Structure 1
């Protein structure tokens, strides 16, 4: 049975796997345009990071690990904010991904408080 505290890392793992396996489809759904080779590469790297972080969160959901993961998500959200401001080609995907990073960080911090 999946506890509510395991839902977030499982959702992150699903998202990361989707980004690794179908980055072009994800980006086209978000932007309405075909993805470039560089965009697909970036999404695969980000998907790998999500999958790795999900694995760590599932294996060791200690408050310290969860807070470190939240810090990574907040750093990622900050880079997304920069992309929104300065990279028109990345504006919409960065806004979507940055919002997701903030939600994941908030969830990890809330989870860390309950541990």
Structure 2
């Protein structure tokens, strides 16, 4: 379910940045705001592709971590830039929801994605898992890694 929300939101940000920004701020969007909105949309789509194709617990947890970092960075930006506060707080709230949903999904997702041997997609899934485990070793707390059985 979270994958469709992420994909839908990512496509909307990528394709319709100006109307969405106008809806939130009530003002025409600047070129900078539109560009940043498109970058965020592309990041959401890339994250959905990486974490939600044959998901495993570690990859989903790292996706949640990315959303959490995004939420924190938007809160910091809101504290510094009053002019974009409305946008950054909305972005922080949305990222926070994705982070919470991703964390909950990680607890329900199998530790290892089931993949057929020799399948090209299976090879990519195994590579993603190795990378995710390496990143998790340095970024996720030990208690979280233990809960995800990594």
Residues 1:10 and 2:4 aligned together: yes
Pairing partner for 1:99 from 87, 93, 99? 93
Distance in 2, matches of 1:82 and 1:99, equals: 13
Shift of 1:18: 0.6
Shift of 1:54: 1.3
Pairing partner for 2:70 from 66, 76, 86? 76
**TM-score, scaled relative to structure 1:** 0.91
- Count of paired positions: 109
Larger proportion of helix: 1
Cα RMSD (Å) of the superposition? 0.9
Deviations 1:26-66 (A, max 9, x none): 11101111100000000000000001111223203111001
Residues 1:23 and 2:17 aligned together: yes
**TM-score, scaled relative to structure 2:** 0.70
Unmatched 5+ residue regions in structure 1? 1-6
Pairing partner for 1:40 from 34, 42, 45? 34
Residues 1:110 and 2:138 aligned together: no
Higher mean C-alpha displacement, 7-16 vs 54-63: 54-63
